Amino acid sequence: MIISKPQLLGSKLRSTVAASPSPTATHVVPLVEPAPTPTAYRLAKRTLDVLVASLALILLSPLFLLICLAIKLEDGGPAIIKQRRVGLGGQLFEFYKFRSMTLGVDHTLAHRAFAQQVIRGEITQGPRSNGGLLKPTGDGRVITRVGRILRKTSLDELPQLFNVLIGNMSLVGPRPSMDYEAEAYFDWYLPRLSVLPGITGLAQINGRSSIPFPEIVRWDLRYIEQRSFWLDLKILLKTLPVVVGMRNTG
């Protein structure tokens, strides 16, 4: 249930973030109450999350090591980065990814304006140079060579399995926005913050970055209304061919 009535989330989010002494301790004042969730579903979902994430991390540990080595060999920088994302109820959390961007450049500045226009629905189609995906393009030096492969194969998302184990993400749910992306939220977007964000969801199996953000929100709201253990399983199974087929990635 929405308990805040601004047209945009921006001013309240900005003031809360600015007042925090540490990004790791920052929490946005909850703007959305958690959606009511049956106990049986909540326990089954958490059990599935822990089992699948644990098994995947064990089985994929050699791949993790190879990716870390490849990133290190390319430019010597950190292999895994942390970003600030908005999760359940508006809480900020540290979000893990394999680094795909070059070192020594503040990529946030270039991404912020584009991302906020996408969030507000002002940009509904990505540049042709990026295959129509709703992601900004650089001059070829922004994304590393290893990073291009990681993004194309979605392998850059693997460290989010740690988020799932920690409990600030689930395998299935709305994708978490950056804090500055959430500044551009309209009121009707807010219910997507009423459940844990996920690695995949209905929007990810129905177009991912190729569809406008308002449409992504509609998929997320549909998921929140219809969510069940069996729907989560169905989404997970449908995610596999999307990832393997490298659809709408980049």
Q: Which residues of the chain have pLDDT under 50?
A: 1-29, 139
| Residue 227 tokens, joined | 């969510």
Residues 6 or more apart in contact with residue 173 via CB below 8 angstroms: 195, 196, 197, 198, 201, 223
For the segment 8-52, what is each residue's pLDDT rounded down to a tens digit? 444 444 434 433 334 444 444 457 899 999 999 999 999 999 999
Alpha helices in the chain (DSSP H): 10-19, 39-59, 61-75, 107-119, 145-153, 160-166, 179-182, 213-226, 229-244
Q: What is the pLDDT of residue 191?
A: 94
Q: What is the pLDDT of residue 88?
A: 95
